[in-house]
Amino acid sequence: MILDRKFPDYKLGLMKFIECDKFHLTQFIGQCPEFYSDTFADSSYNGPMNPHNPAEFEKLPLTLLKGVGPQLAEKLQHLGIETILDLLFHLPLRYQDRTRLTPIGSLQQGDDVVIEGTVAGSSVVFGKRRSLMVKVQDGTGTTTLRFFHFSAAQKSNLQSGTRIRCFGEVRFGRAGLEMYHPEYRLLSGSNPEPMEDTLTPVYPATEGLQQVRLRKLIEQVFAYLDQRQALPDYLPEELREQANFMPLLDALRIIHYPPPDMSLARLQTGQHPAQVRLVFEELLANYLSLRKLRDEARRANAPAFTHKGNLRARLLAHLPFNLTRAQEKVVKEIARDLGHHQPMLRLVQGDVGSGKTMVALIAALQAIESGYQAAIMAPTEILAEQHFLNLDQWLQPLGVEMTFLSGKIKGKKREAVLQALATGQTQLIVGTHALFQNEVHFHKLGLVVVDEQHRFGVHQRLTLREKGRKDDTVPHQLIMTATPIPRTLTMSAYADLDCSVIDELPPGRTPVNTVLIPAERRPEVVQRISAACKEGRQVYWVCTLIEESEALQCQAAEATYADLSSSLPQLKIGLIHGRMKPKEKADVMAAFKNGDIQLLVATTVIEVGVDVPNASLMVIENPERLGLAQLHQLRGRVGRGKAASHCLLLYQNPLSQVSKMRLGIMRESNDGFYIAEKDLEIRGPGEILGTRQTGLMAFRIADLTRDSHLQPKVKTWADKIRARHPEVIDPLIKRWLANAEQYGNV
Ligand code: ADP
Ligand code: MG
């Protein structure tokens, strides 16, 4: 009897359904005679390549393996597996332990286990769904197997007294501990059946390609390698010796077939030498690929901005403040880059409120004074508008021509904007992604500034670079992020960029005092708002929702607005959310800014960019739903003036352990870098880099949280390899990243 079991795989962040084993392994293999042979099928191969030559091993096609025809090859291709080597580097996502039997009496909810016992009765129950329930006992206890799909034959096979071995996840069901749709097999005879002698790998799989198939194919590859020793190791001898790395093939074998004494818990720590060996190599390949991208980008030509600095001097002369030392340092770094023909690729990191916009503006002025256009792109409409309004106040006196473009600008107005860009009349354009659509033509684009870059992946970064290309000239690129990215993560994700850090806030900011308050104490919070407004302060109330839906977020904000309006009738209350027209939003923001609104109810649209120094109190509802970086961004809207500011995190009980920790970090620290480091530890890199960057951080074995301590060593060796062993760079990248976004699109 062959059964399919489906389970979701979370590692890739997708609810991708992976088909699990056909259970009855030996029987299954019996039906597929090609699996009998372990030996490699090269004897029948007469192609041009010599599979005995290590270099050519890299190119050996899958069809050389027994059992791989065009159909299977196509399925494998879906997984990015095109050669035998790809198969060898198709590493398990996780493992199952089928090396030992678990006594039924000691089953624990959530465990994946093998049990063995005797059927003690079965029955079909008709609940919400018809299901076959089979009681199994082994002398230590009894458990129930539950099948929703079952055949008559299956039912009659599972008679009382039948001996059975099952593998599956233990769950808590109506009948106590149960196993839903376990893989199982009937036992006959009195000899004990052998257990698996290694942990069972679970591979990334795809529809119609079962685990057992992948396993058998990978076994063939190992059998081949055992005979030929053909796998080249690209890590330089000196590295392997100094780091005391185990041989590549041994490491791969352990990862594909971990011995039973290598516990699952141990594997999770990533400390086994086999893991370290492969993780290191993967991080190295990733780093080398980003460096290579950077080298390639540098080879293009960019305009060198030679200018006297007149515009900058005039801007600085009428600013009501001096640049901070940190701003000055970064401005200098950028100015130096912009003076060269080599395209600038620079990431500016600076905490919320550190004054990144000013730095970007000064860069833009350098382009403009040199006769080029500059573009500033923001990820959202509201942020782009905000930039436009902010910049306008500085640019008006300088006589710089600036316009705005987003998807919402349509018809005649749009035509006029495009026209002015194409003729070069517009010197600075601010907008959203709309800036880089096909019908947008620049006259002489010299600088692209991307705000909040962490929301875009490497791929988008590359596309942007290409969009600005004219013949062999590309614009300089400046990327700004308000989510500080921990250093080790920068090395993995941004090694193609130079990095500047604005590590200082303008003077006069008071740290925000953050307090956690359970939702039951909401009335007290409302009183506090009232008191703050009486003192002439202004207040934000931020509504959050788990749902991605903007519509629902807006509804929630509207409800809160209505609610607060009735409990605080004496206050002037405003509402802002993403569904309002740009003009309406701008009006509300303007009213808040000049004090006509005292309490602003908002969705997370105010996350970035909004600047009202007199606002000194912020309430964030359900903060446990947001990432720390986002909370830090939001909180950065207060604490911009002289008054002591407060942020009240109005959380919903009960809080999970992790949420408690995370909110505790918010209370404890105002330092964006520290918060980002902690968020990385607690929630992993996906959250910090923007969760939906598929491909960017999909490593095969490395785990950026667990393995980040290796990053400095990776960098050191990457530099050595670039200097002394450049010939291994491409093979390493190809081996690990051939199908990854970073490389595939170049
Ligand atoms: P962020 O880095 O979060 O984008 P902004 O560029 O929005 O920060 O700057 C926040 C506020 O600080 C703005 O009102 C800006 O005008 C102001 N600002 C920028 N630089 C300085 C400075 N050197 N001194 C005082 N205020 C500054
Ligand atoms: Mg900003």
User: Which domains, from first to last, does the chain contain?
Assistant: 1-44 (no CATH), 100-195 (2.40.50.140), 310-502 (3.40.50.300), 513-669 (3.40.50.300)
Question: Which pLDDT does position 456 carry in this prediction?
Answer: 58
The answer to whether residue 50 scores a pLDDT higher than 60 is: no
Nearest ligand, CA 380: 2
Alpha-carbon gap, residue 72 to 283, rounded angstroms: 30
Point out the least confidently predicted range of 454-468, 482-496, 526-540, 601-615.
454-468
CA distance 543 to 592: 17
**Amino acid making up residue 727:** E
> Which ligand has its closest atom nearest to the C-alpha of 348?
1
Q: What is the pLDDT of residue 14?
A: 22
Asked if residue 162 lies in contact with residue 189, where contact means CB atoms within 8 angstroms, the answer is no
Reported confidence tier of residue 699, pLDDT bands at 50, 70, 90: confident
> Residue 391 C-alpha to ligand 1 middle, in angstroms?
11
User: By 3-state DSSP, what share of the chain in percent is helix, strand and coil, each rounded to 5?
Assistant: 45, 20, 35
How many angstroms does the Cα of residue 355 sit away from the middle of ligand 1? 3
CA 172 to chain centre: 32
Residues with Cβ within 8 Å of 746's Cβ and at least 6 positions away in sequence, in order, are: 293, 296, 462
Is a pLDDT exceeding 50 seen at residue 569?
yes
Identify the residue whose C-alpha is closest to ligand 1 atom 18: 355
Best-predicted range by mean pLDDT among 86-95, 374-383, 538-547, 699-708?
86-95
pTM of the model: 0.69
Listed in sequence order, the DSSP H helices in 300-432 are 310-318, 325-338, 356-369, 381-395, 411-423
Q: Is the pLDDT of residue 230 over 80?
A: no
**Residues 437, 417: Cα–Cα separation, whole Å:** 13
Which residues, 6+ apart, have CB-to-CB distance to 261 below 8 Å? Answer: none
- b/e map of 344-366 (b: 16 or more CB within 10 Å)? bbbbbbbbbbbbbbbbbbbbbbb
d(CA 299, CA 213): 45
CB-CB neighbours of 737 under 10 Å: 21
Is pLDDT above 80 for 475? yes
> For residue 587, how far is its CA from the centre of ligand 2 (angstroms)?
20
The span from the CA of 279 to the CA of 256, in Å, is 14
Average pLDDT, stretch 671-676?
Answer: 85
Residue of the nearest CA to atom 23 in ligand 1?
323
Residue 628, both tokens = 């720390």
Q: Which atom of ligand 1 is nearest to the CA of 352?
A: 3
Tokens of 420: 């002015």
Q: What does the buried/exposed string (b/e) look like for 655-674 if buried means 16 or more CB atoms within 10 Å of the residue's CB? A: beeebeebbebbeebbebbe
Main-chain phi, psi angles of 733, to 5 degrees: -65, -45
User: Which range has the worst mean pLDDT, 12-26, 397-411, 696-710?
Assistant: 12-26
Residue 667: pLDDT band (50, 70, 90) is: very high
312-315 long-range CB contacts below 8 Å, 24 or more apart? 312/362, 312/365, 312/366, 312/369, 314/397, 314/398, 315/361, 315/362, 315/365, 315/394, 315/398
Pairing relationship of beta strands 183-187 and 345-350 according to DSSP bridges:
unpaired
Give the ligand at the shortest distance from the Cα of 331.
Answer: 1
Q: How confident is the model at residue 301 (pLDDT cuts 50, 70, 90)?
A: very high
Report the pLDDT averaged over residues 163-187.
89
User: At what angle are helices 628-635 and 672-683 packed, to 10 degrees?
Assistant: 160
Residue 181 near residue 146, CB atoms below 8 Å: yes
Distance CA 599, CA 390 (A): 22
Side-chain-side CA neighbours of 556 within 13 Å: the count stands at 19
610/555 Cα distance (integer angstroms):
22
Q: For the residues 529-545, what does the mean pLDDT come to?
A: 92
Cis check: omega of the bond before 654, within 30 degrees of 0: yes
Cβ–Cβ < 8 Å for 379, 604: no
Shortest-distance ligand to the CA of residue 393: 1
Coil, strand, or helix at residue 205? coil
Name the closest-CA residue to atom 20, ligand 1.
355
Average of per-residue pLDDT across 479-505: 80
**Residues whose CB is less than 8 angstroms from the CB of residue 580 and which lie 6 or more positions away in sequence, other chains included:** 588
Closest ligand, as measured to the CA of 320: 1
Phi-psi region of 173 (alpha: psi -120 to 50; beta: other; left: phi over 0): beta
Kindly state the DSSP code that residue 204 receives in the 8-state scheme.
-
Cα 629 to ligand 2 centroid, rounded to whole Å:
14
pLDDT computed for residue 37 by the predictor: 33
Q: Which residue has the tokens 């830090």?
A: 632
Distance 636 CA to ligand 2 centre (A): 10
Please check whether residue 225 is in contact with residue 231, taking contact to mean a CB–CB distance below 8 angstroms: yes
Phi, psi for 477 (deg, rounded to 5): -130, 130
Q: Which atom of ligand 1 is the closest one to the Cα of 327? A: 23
The Cβ-side half-sphere exposure at 315, using a 13 Å CA radius, reads: 23
Q: CA 611 to CA 358: how far, in whole Å?
A: 13
Over residues 582-623, the pLDDT tens digits come to 778 878 888 998 899 999 999 876 654 567 889 999 999 999
The pLDDT score that the predictor gives to residue 163 is 93
Query: How far apart, in whole angstroms, are the C-alpha atoms of residue 320 and residue 508?
Result: 14
Tell whether the torsion through CA atoms of 397, 401, 407 and 409 is positive or negative: positive
Any residues with CB less than 8 A from the CB of 266 and at least 6 apart, and which?
A: 272
Which ligand 1 atom is at minimum distance from the Cα of 324? 23
> How many Cα atoms are found within 13 Å in the side-chain-facing hemisphere of 462?
18
* Distance separating alpha carbons of residues 546 and 82, to the nearest angstrom: 40
Cβ atoms of 282 and 728 closer than 8 Å: no
350-369 residue pLDDT tens = 888 899 999 999 999 999 99
Ligand 1 atom 24 nearest Cα: 506
Length of the chain (residues): 746
Q: Which of 318, 319, 321 to mutate to test the pocket of ligand 1 (most atoms within 8 A of CB)?
A: 321
DSSP letter (8 states) at residue 498: E
* Rounded CA separation 689/621 (Å): 24
Q: What angle do CA 170, 659, 489 make, to 5 degrees?
A: 95
How far is ligand 2, taken at its centre, from the CA of residue 383, in Å? Answer: 8
- Give the least confident one: 195-209, 324-338, 527-541: 195-209
Evaluate whether 58 touches 85 at the Cβ level (below 8 Å): yes
Pocket, ligand 1, Cβ cutoff 6 A: 321, 323-324, 327, 350, 352-358, 482, 506, 611
Query: What is the position in ligand 1's atom list of the atom closest to the CA of 508?
Result: 25
Q: How confident is the model at residue 453 (pLDDT cuts 50, 70, 90)?
A: low
Q: State the Cα–Cα distance between residues 505 and 409, nearest whole angstrom.
A: 35
Phi, psi of 651 (to 5 degrees): -95, 160
Q: How far apart are CA 530 and CA 536, in angstroms?
A: 10
Tell me how far apart the alpha carbons of residues 376 and 359 are, in angstroms, rounded to a whole number: 12
pLDDT digits (tens, 9 = 90+) for 119-139: 999 999 887 788 899 999 999
Mean pLDDT, range 335-354, rounded to an integer? 92
β-bridge pairing 200-202 and 94-96: antiparallel
703-724 confidence digits (pLDDT tens): 877 888 898 899 999 999 999 9
Q: Which ligand gives the minimal distance to the CA of 453?
A: 2
**No. of helices (H) and no. of strands (E), the chain:** 27, 23
Residue 21, pLDDT score:
25
Closest ligand 1 atom to residue 636 Cα is 3
**Nearest-atom index, ligand 1, CA of 502:** 2
- Contacts of 294 by beta carbon, 8 Å cutoff, 6+ apart: 345, 495, 496, 497
Residue 400's Cα: distance from chain center in Å?
A: 39
How many whole angstroms separate alpha carbon 501 and alpha carbon 481?
Answer: 10
Whole-number CA gyration radius for the chain: 31
CA of 494 to the centre of ligand 2 (A): 19
Question: Considering the chain, what is the average pLDDT of its residues?
Answer: 82
Per-residue pLDDT tens over the stretch 53-112:
555 677 788 888 888 988 899 889 888 888 888 899 999 888 888 988 999 999 988 888
Q: Please tell me the predicted confidence (pLDDT) of residue 556.
A: 81
Q: Among 357, 479, 635, which residue has the most ligand 1 atoms within 8 Å of its CB, making it the best to mutate?
A: 357
Contact 421, 373 (CB under 8 A): yes
Read off the amino acid at residue 707.
D
Ligand nearest to the CA of 390: 1
Which residue from 621, 619, 617 is spatially nearest to 639, judged by alpha carbons? 617
Residue 481: pLDDT band (50, 70, 90) is confident
Atom of ligand 1 nearest to the CA of 354: 2
Residue 49 scores a pLDDT above 60: no
- Confidence (pLDDT) at 235: 94
Give pLDDT, residue 27.
Answer: 25
Q: Which residue has its alpha carbon closest to ligand 1 atom 10?
A: 353
Amino acid at position 372, single letter: Y
pLDDT for the residue 547: 52
Is residue 65 within 8 Å of 220, Cβ to Cβ? yes
Q: How far is the CA of 592 from the centre of ligand 1 (A)?
A: 18
Cα-based distances in Å from 26 to 32, 209, 216, 259, 487: 10, 18, 12, 21, 50
Nearest CA to ligand 1 atom 17: 355
- Cα separation, 68 vs 64, in Å, equals 7
How far, in Å, is the centroid of ligand 1 from the Cα of 605? 19
Neighbours of 494 (CB within 10 A): 23
- The better pLDDT of the pair 384, 567 is held by 567
